[in-house]
Amino acid sequence: MVDYQQKSRYDIGDLLEIMRLLRSEGGCPWDREQTHKSIRSDMIEEACEVIEAIDLEDTELLREELGDVLLQVVFHCRIEEEAQTFNFSDVCDEVCKKLIVRHPHVFGDVLADTTDEVLKNWDAIKMQTKGQETYTDTLNSVAKSLPALMRAQKVGKRAMRAGMDFRTAEDAMACIGAEKAEFERAVASGSTADIEDELGDLLFSCVNAARHLGIDAEQALKNSTEKFIRRFAVTEELTRAEGIDMKELPIEELDTYWGKAKKIILEEIEND
């Protein structure tokens, strides 16, 4: 047991000290064994739970999940502090300096009266401070660990800033048709490599169209997935009510129940 005075309320200093104690010789065996890589997925999971709390508009849950993300930050910082490379204070110092440098219209004498001007300055400063000399550098800097749709949309947006983009949403949507035709030819060829390649191009063209239409492709797919699950659940309820195991039905009959489920859901929406 470690020597620690419990309190009725804690602050960031307490969190840093608790993490130090957990990683100390008299602390927790599990915490002492962890590395950046071993808790890598925890950061992803906690960030996703923050997003879920935001989507649910649940402020109490959001407060809790933000704390879990902060814990991950403190955990990683503690690992580096033990290696005598940097600590939590260094992280705070760096992000504060970054915010000041990238907001010269607030902390300096640069004029930026609109959001577009702010973002233009931000991008220019970011390129300079990160040593990005070409537009390609800005595309390569988009994290490869991002969800594929999100990364594709961000890459497309950065390409747009370099002038490489469709002129209109209509042009972007027309590209979907062209890519669909290429995908169908690949399927007909039977080449798995070609099918994968053309499917990727088709998905990328859909993301570009979404960007031009002001739609978040990641959110759009998330919504469609949830819609599918909801309709699937109602379809299963309908078949079970008739004593039928849905997996025993041919797809043609399942489609009939699927249509009924869609109608039920639409009626529920209209009645709300």
Quickly state the pLDDT bin for 117 (edges 50, 70, 90): confident
131 occurs within a structural domain: no
User: In terms of DSSP H, where are the helices of 83-191?
Assistant: 88-101, 104-107, 115-129, 135-140, 148-161, 169-189
Residue 199 counted as domain residue = yes
How high is the pLDDT of residue 169?
A: 96
**What CATH number did the domain enclosing 208 receive?**
1.10.287.1080
Q: Range with the lowest mean pLDDT among 122-131, 171-180, 194-203?
A: 122-131
The pLDDT of 104-114, averaged and rounded, is 88
Same domain, 229 and 248: yes
Cα 245 from Cα 243, distance rounded (Å): 7
Q: 18 with 92, same domain?
A: yes
Among 104-108, 118-122, 242-246, name the one with the lowest average pLDDT. Answer: 118-122
Domain span at 167? 139-215
Examine the domain organization and report whether 21 and 93 are in the same domain.
yes
How many residues belong to the chain? 272
pLDDT value at 29 more than 80: yes
Regarding whether 243 and 189 lie in a shared domain, the answer is no
Q: Which residue, of 36, 67, 99, is where some domain finishes?
A: 99
| 201 lies in some domain | yes
Of 177, 195, 215, which residue sits at a domain end?
A: 215
Q: Is the domain of 63 the same as that of 75?
A: yes
Mean residue pLDDT of the chain comes to 94
Looking at the fold, whether 178 and 196 belong to one and the same domain comes out as yes
Do 89 and 16 lie in one domain? The reply is yes
In a domain, 34, yes or no: yes
Residue 241 lies in a domain: yes
State which of 80, 99, 118 marks the end of a domain: 99
Kindly indicate the confidence band of residue 113, based on its pLDDT and cuts at 50, 70 and 90. confident
Q: What is the mean pLDDT of residues 74-100?
A: 97
Helix (H) or strand (E) holding 198: helix 192-212
Same domain, 187 and 225: no
Domain total for the chain? Answer: 3
User: Does residue 202 have a pLDDT over 90?
Assistant: yes
pLDDT at 52: 93
Residue type, 124: A
Q: Is 35 within 8 Å of 79 (Cβ atoms)?
A: yes
What confidence score (pLDDT) does residue 130 get?
85
Instruction: Tell whether 197 and 225 lie within a shared domain.
Output: no
Same domain, 188 and 265: no
In order of 148, 248, 271, the CA distances from 261 in angstroms are: 31, 18, 15
